[in-house]
Structure 1
Amino acid sequence: MLKQNRLLALAEKALTAILLVASGACFAQAGYPSKPVKLVVGFAAGGPTDVVARAFADHAARALGQPFVVENKPGANTILAAQAVASAPADGYTLLFGATNHTMIPALYGTRVKFDAVKSFQPLCTVATSPTVLVVGPGMPVKSLADYMARARKEPRRTTAGTAGVGSSGHFATEMFARANGLQLNHVPYKGAAPVVTDLMGGQLDSSFATLGSVLPQLRAGKLAALAVASPKRSPLLPGVPTFAEAGGGNYSADAWYGVLAPAGLPQPIAQQLEKAAGDFAASTAAAEKLRGLGLDADSTCGLAFAQQVEREVATYMQIARDLNLKAE
């Protein structure tokens, strides 16, 4: 009997210890954040991703009561930044502010990277999207997407489509559209987006699948024309331009996203706090105005939906890269 009582006492002590540890963990998570949070950006300061990251950091700091410090870590097509976050503790104090190119890393670099773009991260929320638009210059005699597609079908590989380089987001967007509609376009890679716009306006290039922010000034000035927006719905920045689906281009979408990812294994209570902060940021009037100035739309896709989007994109880009034998230099 005495032995049984001792065993019961030990069991009670063990249960009490477990409950204390569990309550302590919950308290620690409920107290998040208790120190500054690092937001790693894989691009140099001043670019679109950096600007959006800093706007989100300001909002998150006010919402959660601790500084969110942006750390620019450019290099190797954002691989350095992603690696730094993938190897960080999953405690919510080191986050990645990434963009669509994150899902292109496996397609271009394969096993050369030391992380898995899907399994090493927990996608939290997008906060903005940059619609991809098909733009043409004055040298392209078409008035609609239907005209463009008819011309491309009539003369395969003659219609030129410029991008910022082999393996760029524009390159993948061009290939995805061509495959979805049975077209053969003449891909012309450049070293950056600026020379693409220059040659479009000069008539040396027919078209480009470009992010809206990179061509918005020229569209507003009438120097380029947009035929369709590769989004599920029309962009508030170009309300008169139809989506590809509306214009007869099929169910084609190629939005570029900007969002927050954490190392895999982030505790759910912390994830929920960060997701709420991101969602509230995207829903705010201040963010909408800031993003509109960059040619971006405020957008919040969180949790499982964002994770599934990342996984789909990785699979799609890997298939295209295999088919085209694309490899980063």
Structure 2
Amino acid sequence: MLMKKLRKLLAANTLLASATIATASTAVMTSTTAYASDYPNKPVNFVVGFGVGGSADRMTRAMSSFLADELGEPIKVINKKGAGTQIAANYVLNRPGDGYTVFASTFAPYLSNTILKGNASYTIEDFSYLNFQWFDMDLIAVNKESPYQSLQEVLETIRNEPNKVRASVVQGSAGHLMLRLLLDVNNIPQENLALVTYNSGGKARSAVAGGQVDLISISAQGSEGIREFLRPLAIVSEERSNKWDAPTINEALKPMNTEVAVLPGSMRGFAVSTEFKQKHPERYQKLSTAIQNTLASKEVQSFLNKSDIGGVWVGPEKADALMKQNYETFKKYAHLLND
């Protein structure tokens, strides 16, 4: 399954990152200026598909200063939230394909869902994925002050007391789809859950941390900052997490005699328009190499680890394959994302 493949990929890349860091001075010997001596010669815009404070935004801002040093020009972070990242995606595609506009986002599952459910005019092939550096499983949790002690209890309350349970999700996310799927497999009417959707992970988390909603389904690693406000009920994974004291999603569903598909979680990173890659392959290579070199830095890895932000290098070819796999997976369940 895709999640198993991702775990193997991450394990392999952890070893690769260690080896790369240890030999950073010799791993990429070719000077990036050899690829495109005139690029960049002005600031590069990194367009985030979400609001300030979400996981993709934090990743981009954490990387921006280090990448700027590598490229030799400033990086400007621009937030274009809305429509499940479709606004940002269209913005990137409508800018000149010259390498001065980079798409920074949680590509899986949002980009797939804008195509499947958002009537986007683009396809996943319109983007070239430079790297996915941060993989994350989803967490289902409630505010720690809520009365709910298990996923079964929450679902039975939704079944028997319509609109009593309020939940927050990011529009079009894997967490959004998982809540829909949980109701579907347990024959609970979708309208029984009072679901509040947000365009930013930061806002969705603030809602449950502040008690405005009872339940949340969202990326686990990005929720470290609100851990003290949460009671975890399940991890959307085939294996338990050593960071969250919670059963796997299907372990949590055993008392209800049901199971759900273990959906792949978030994949965050950077992409550019395919037009840019085709028109300026040397610039594309320089940008890709800059990201690889940045992630090979001990200083960068230390900063990302302290900030609970992923920092693996999988490269363009693997990122492209993972994006296509994600699209096919979410295509199977896209019919549930009807608000």
TM-score between the two structures when normalised by the length of structure 2? 0.65
- Give the Cα separation in 2 of the matches to 1:45 and 1:312: 28
- Give the Cα separation in 1 of the matches to 2:336 and 2:52: 35
Distance 1:297 1:166, change over 3 A: closer
Q: Percent identity?
A: 19
Which moved further from structure 2: 210-219 or 122-131?
A: 210-219
Matched with 1:40 is 47
- 1:212 maps to which of 210, 214, 220: 220
Matched with 1:312 is 325
Q: Does 1:103 align with 2:116?
A: no
Matched with 1:195 is 207
Q: Does 1:69 align with 2:75?
A: yes
SS at match of 1:164: strand
Matches for 1:315-326 after TM superposition, within 5 Å: 315-326=328-339
Give 1:106 shift: 1.7
Give 1:246 shift: 8.2
Provide, for residues 158-213 of structure 1, a one-character-per-residue CA deviation record: whole Å limited to 9, x for no partner.
5957223664553123235666x76748543125412233448xxx73x4322235
- Give the Cα separation in 1 of the matches to 2:40 and 2:222: 39
- Give the Cα separation in 2 of the matches to 1:245 and 1:272: 43
User: How big is the alpha-carbon RMSD for the aligned residues of Structure 1 and Structure 2?
Assistant: 3.9
Question: Which residues of structure 2 form unaligned runs of 5+?
Answer: 1-32, 199-203
- 2:270 maps to which of 238, 246, 260: 260
Aligned residues of 2:158 and 2:193 also touching (Cα < 8 A): no
Give 1:285 shift: 4.4
Q: State which structure, 1 or 2, has the greater radius of gyration over its C-alpha atoms.
A: 1
Distance 1:280 1:310, change over 3 A: same
Letter aligned with residue 207 of structure 2: P
- Give the Cα separation in 2 of the matches to 1:175 and 1:119: 28
Aligned residues of 1:190 and 1:196 also touching (Cα < 8 A): no
Provide, for residues 302-329 of structure 1, a one-character-per-residue CA deviation record: whole Å limited to 9, x for no partner.
3232223323333444553434544xxx
Matches for 1:150-299 after TM superposition, within 5 Å: 157-158=159-160, 160=165, 162-164=167-169, 167-176=172-181, 184=188, 187-190=193-196, 192=198, 193=204, 194-199=206-211, 205=214, 207-212=215-220, 215-219=223-227, 221=228, 223-230=229-236, 238=243, 244=249, 252-265=262-275, 266-267=277-278, 268-282=281-295, 284-292=297-305, 295-299=308-312
- Give the Cα separation in 2 of the matches to 1:199 and 1:99: 26
Aligned residues: 282
- Give the Cα separation in 2 of the matches to 1:43 and 1:167: 12
- Give the Cα separation in 2 of the matches to 1:82 and 1:153: 35
Distance 1:165 1:35, change over 3 A: closer
Matched with 1:3 is none
Runs of 4+ in 1 over 6 A off after TM superposition: 152-156, 245-251
TM-score between the two structures when normalised by the length of structure 1? 0.67
Matched with 1:83 is 90
Aligned residues of 1:213 and 1:294 also touching (Cα < 8 A): no
Give 1:227 shift: 3.8
Letter aligned with residue 306 of structure 1: A
Question: Which residues of structure 1 form unaligned runs of 5+?
Answer: 1-26, 143-147
Give 1:156 shift: 8.0
- Give the Cα separation in 1 of the matches to 2:186 and 2:296: 38
